[in-house]
Each structure stands twice: as structure tokens, then as C-alpha cells.
Amino acid sequence: MPSEKRARQRALRAQKQAVIQKQRKRRTNLRRAGTITVIGLAIVGIVVAIQASTKPSKKHAAATTTTTTTTLPLSTVAVAPTCAPAGNKARVTWFTKSPPDCISKTSVWDATMTTTLGSFVIEMDAAKSYAAVNNFVFLAQWNYYNGTFFHRVIPGFVVQGGDPTGTGSGGPHAFPGYSFTGNYPPDSCKTKVTAACYQPGDFVMANTNSNSKVQNASTDGSQFFVVLPGGQTTLDTEPTYTLFGTVSSGMAVVDKIGADGSAGGTPKVKVYLVKVTVKQVKA
């Protein structure tokens, strides 16, 4: 009996020892798995940190893709003028002569002037000033004005643009390569100087006249100006500028552009014409 009892005791001890060993092995495996997991997570964290340090943030990425509007390249060779095809994407700034008739003589057009300060719209009636409206639509459809800036801005007088060189001189190639004779200003000014020949918001062709009461022939080209409140006082004394449109909406934007001007005409801030879009609103 004593020997059987001892045998049973040994068997029980062996069984307990086996259980203890199994538990120890299990704990060891769990610790090992935990260590591997921690190491793996640490590696992943390091990789993510490295990627974050080399990849631009969304804010930075957005900043790097921002486009700064500048003066676009000018044509280096004058081309024969033809009416621009629908959906034209090309830009031409130099032509051999004035454009052909590209619009109806009774049509009315809206020109949306998208600037870096906002947009304003010009309404142009071809019946009142065909040569000038046809010319502006022609140039706009060839993307002539896109990327130019208002180079002459005088508070209380005018906001002037339309020269791709930004100098007001027309450039070395006398852009747009030609000049033409536009219509005279409002009917009341055709025969004599009267009050209210021009109004704030009028869209007018710039030309080479200087304090003259007689319009010079063939001096209109591509440059234009918008009359600011107060500007009509001076312009009415020399009513020789072709009037071919008026601001129909967005005059507040024109006023903002005018506020950045100076007495000498040099703008304090360059306001760009990002794009000019013309649309026929009446046949």
C-alpha cells in the first residue's frame, strides 16, 4: 500500500508539473507575441512619420498649385486676321490689318471681364458702334486680352487696359498691329461739346487724341477705358473717344480697381484681366 500511495503521489506531482510547464510555455509565447506586435507597431509608426515628413501637407500642396496670373506671351509674327473659330483656345496679339466683319451689325454682346479683384460685365450694342464692338469681340475671341493688366488707373478719372505689353505704348510691334476709325462719342457730342457726353461706367476706346475737339482718324486699336465717377468732367471737354459699351453689372469691382490707382496713372497694385468672355445676347 505505501508503495502504491507513493506512486499515486508521484503521478499527481508529475501531472501538476506538466500543467505548470504548459502554463509557463503559454505565458512565454504570449510575451513573445506581444513583443513582436509592439515592434511591428513601432516600425509602422516610424514609416508613417517618415512619409509625413516627406509628403506635402494638403495646405502646402494647395499652395504649390496656386497659379499666379502674369502677362502671357505675345505673338512674334503678325497674322492675317480671320474670325476666331468657335471654342478657340489659341492666343494671338499681333495682326497684319484690322479685322473683317465677324458679328451682325444689329447684334448686342455682353463681355464678362474676369479680373483678380472680381468680375464686371460690359454691354455692347453693335448698331451704335459697329467698328469698335466688332473689333473688341474679334480680339476677345482670339484671347488677346487674357493675362493683361490695367496699366493706367487714375482715381476719379479712368481705369484703362487693353495693351498686352502693359506700357500703354502698344509695344515694339504696335499691338494689335493696326488701327481703325471708330464712331464718334454720343450723338450730343458729334456737332458740339455739351454736358454729359460721357457717364460713369461708359466703356470707351482709348486713342492718340490729346485735348482735341476733333477726333483723329484711324487711332483706335485695342486699348479701352472705363469712366470712373468724376471722370466725365474731364472727358466732356474733349469728346473725341469712341463710346461702344457700358458697365451693366459689377461697377463696384471697377471702383475697387480705380481705388488702387494714382494721380500719375501707375497702379499701386496690378489688377489682371484673367479672362475676357464675349457672348451674343441679341442677334
85-115 tens-digit pLDDT: 999 999 999 999 999 999 999 999 999 999 9
Domain containing 183 equals 108-282
Asked if residue 259 and residue 184 are part of one domain, the reply reads yes
Residue 173 lies in a domain: yes
170 inside domain: yes
46 and 118 housed in the same domain? no
**Does a structural domain hold residue 85?**
no
* Dist CA 283 CA 280 (whole Å): 7
Report whether 126 contacts 278 (CB < 8 A): no
Tell me the CATH number at 175: 2.40.100.10
Q: Does residue 87 sit within a domain?
A: no
Cα–Cα distance for residue pair 42/34, rounded to 1 Å: 12
Through-space distance between the first and last CA atoms of the chain, rounded to whole angstroms = 125
Determine contact, residues 119/113, Cβ cutoff 8 Å.
Answer: yes
Q: Are residues 157 and 252 in the same domain?
A: yes
Q: Give the separation between CA 153 and CA 264, rounded to whole angstroms.
A: 8
Predicted local distance difference test score (pLDDT) of residue 215:
58
| Count of domains for the chain | 2
- pLDDT exceeds cutoff 70 at 72: yes
Count the residues in the chain: 283
Query: Measuring CA to CA, which residue among 205, 189, 225, 30 is closest to residue 129?
Result: 205
Residues 6+ apart with CB under 8 A from 251: 120, 200, 201
pLDDT at residue number 238: 76
120 and 55 in one domain? no
Distance CA 119, CA 251 (A): 9
In a domain, 77, yes or no: no
Task: Report if pTM > 0.85.
Answer: no
Residue 98 lies in a domain: no
pLDDT for the residue numbered 81 = 97
Q: Is the peptide bond before 81 cis (omega within 30 degrees of 0)?
A: no
Based on the fold, state whether residues 135 and 18 are members of the same structural domain: no
Q: Is residue 49 part of a domain?
A: yes
- Pair (28, 142) in one structural domain: no
How far apart, in whole angstroms, are the C-alpha atoms of residue 137 and residue 84?
Answer: 10
- The string of pLDDT tens digits covering residues 44-59 is 444 334 344 333 333 3
Q: What is the pLDDT of residues 240-269, one digit of tens each?
A: 889 999 999 999 999 999 999 999 999 999
Which set of grid coordinates corresponds to residue 31? Answer: 510575451
* One domain, residues 30 and 139: no
- Mean pLDDT score of the chain: 80
Confidence band, pLDDT 50/70/90 cuts, at residue 39: very low
Which pLDDT score, from 0 to 100, does residue 45 have? 47
State the pLDDT confidence band at 169, using cuts at 50, 70 and 90. Answer: confident
Of 13-22, 62-71, 124-133, 270-279, minimum mean pLDDT range: 62-71
Q: Which amino acid is at 181?
A: T
Conformation bin of residue 250: beta by default, left when phi > 0, alpha when psi is -120 to 50: left
Same domain, 129 and 256: yes
Q: Please state the rounded mean pLDDT for residues 188-212.
A: 74
- Concatenate the DSSP letters of all residues of 208-246 into one string: S--S-SSPPTT-B-S-EEEEPTTHHHHHTTS--S-EEEE
